[in-house]
Chain A
């Protein structure tokens, strides 16, 4: 069952530009998380935003959450070539006993 859907599927930008990725989900949630995956590696947790929060920052990352629209966005400011990776959102589905549900991801390419 696919809960989160990221948009766009792929994004190419120049270094220094901002990158915005969006995530939509279907059911109510307790929290939403964003992860990053470098090619051939495991995922790395970036940020968790709870359902009662609207915005959260971590370094160059800014995450927003709109529970009325069931959507979230991840903004990476002043992108660097090292930000090139796939980014996934994951939701908990707000059901006891279930695990996180991941979207298909956005592949970001940052060229120098």
Chain B
């Protein structure tokens, strides 16, 4: 079955540590996205990529970094510069920016 997979489901970060969240899709979608969701809030865009080897900052990119070396993969690194990383992180993909997005089941990141 085609879909989008995020791992791990739960992740814990120590102070000063970088952590990487994985996102893989086998839908053959060109575009991929990372969102952050805080309790009772909507989705805020961190980064998005419309094609391999290209990505753009979203509204809250500070403290995060991404890469898009393969069409199927769009990992997100939460760096130590992100002072409030505790949140639910969602990855999505779509054929292009105007098409419906398919979401993974998220990674919940907490600080130890």
Chain A residues within 8 Å of B, Cβ to Cβ: 1-2, 30-31, 33, 35, 40-45, 48, 88, 90, 92, 97-105
Stretch of B11-19, B66-74, B76-84, B95-103 lying at the A interface: B95-103
Chain A minimum-CB-distance residue to B88: A40
Specify which chain B residues have a CB less than 8 angstroms from the CB of A44 in the assembled complex: 103
**B52-95 interface (Cβ within 8 A of A):** 56, 58-59, 88, 90, 92
18 of the cross-chain contacts (CB-CB < 8 Å) are A30-B98, A31-B98, A33-B100, A40-B106, A42-B90, A42-B105, A43-B43, A43-B92, A43-B103, A45-B100, A99-B45, A99-B58, A100-B33, A100-B97, A101-B45, A103-B42, A104-B41, A104-B42
Q: A48-B100, A92-B97, A97-B50 are in contact. List 4 more A-B contacts (CB 8 A).
A: A2-B42, A33-B100, A43-B43, A45-B101
Contact indicator A42/B104 (Cβ below 8 Å):
yes
Specify which chain B residues have a CB less than 8 angstroms from the CB of A105 in the assembled complex: 42
Contact indicator A102/B97 (Cβ below 8 Å):
no
Q: How far is the CA of A90 from the CA of B42 in the complex (A)?
A: 10
